[in-house]
């Protein structure tokens, strides 16, 4: 753990260092998510292309604002935020997004799983911050709410008339994409 040379008033350097490590993981996830969203934006095709293409731009803007806020919180805590690609690829514990050019339901089903992972990890970071710093906790809570809203927008495109998600509980991005690409939206 990095012990910063300073921390905000009322927060020990030790706790600040713990928070910095935790927030650095969130920074990596958010920067990666913004890149995944742009990848999908460039590679989505088929019916509903334009609305999804434009929706994803809004998501990218919001996610980039989140990553900036996390990086600034790291700096405020006395840390050095690192969003460089070399650091990100060494420190993350997930693979690159696995879907290339695909139809709208396929990409959005895979993206739903990506959002599941990011939101789940954000919730863990909220729990971690809860015992250490209410300011950091508050930042992450607000972001989790926005991430859940973005996921709802995605899910609205892949929900069938029975209220089920078109990826049928798939566990991998490729499985979700494949299942959703052939699902009957009128089921």
Name the residue ranges covered by the structural domains of the chain: 13-181
pLDDT, tens digit (0-9, with 9 covering 90-100), for 45-76: 999 999 999 999 999 999 999 999 999 999 99
Look over the chain and give the mean of its residue pLDDT values, rounded to a whole number. 94
Cα 146 to Cα 51, 59, 150, 164: the distances in Å are 19, 9, 6, 22
Lowest mean pLDDT among 72-86, 127-141, 157-171: 157-171
CATH 3.30.160.20 fits 13-181, yes or no: no
Q: Identify the bridge partners of residue 147 per DSSP, sorted by sequence position.
A: none
The reported pLDDT for the residue numbered 184 is 72
The whole-number average pLDDT for the span 128-150 is: 97
> For residues 151 and 87, is the Cβ–Cβ distance under 8 A?
no
pLDDT digits (tens, 9 = 90+) for 88-123: 999 998 899 999 999 999 999 999 999 999 999 999
């Amino acid at each position: 753990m990095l012990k910063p040379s300073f921390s905000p008033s009322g927060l020990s350097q030790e706790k600040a260092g713990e928070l910095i490590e935790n927030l650095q993981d969130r920074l990596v996830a958010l920067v990666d998510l913004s890149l995944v969203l742009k990848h999908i934006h460039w590679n989505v095709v088929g019916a509903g292309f334009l609305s999804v293409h434009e929706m994803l731009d809004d998501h990218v803007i919001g996610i980039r604002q989140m990553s900036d806020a996390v990086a600034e919180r790291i700096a405020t805590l006395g840390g050095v935020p690192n969003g460089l690609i070399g650091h990100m690829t060494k420190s993350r514990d997930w693979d690159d997004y696995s879907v290339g050019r695909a139809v709208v339901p396929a990409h959005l089903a895979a993206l739903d799983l990506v959002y599941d992972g990011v939101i789940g990890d954000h919730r863990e970071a909220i729990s971690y911050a809860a015992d250490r710093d209410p300011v950091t906790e508050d930042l992450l809570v607000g972001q989790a709410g926005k991430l859940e809203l973005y996921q709802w927008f995605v899910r609205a495109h892949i929900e069938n008339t029975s209220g089920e998600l078109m990826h049928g509980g798939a566990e991998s991005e490729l499985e979700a994409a494949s299942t959703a690409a052939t699902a009957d939206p009128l089921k």
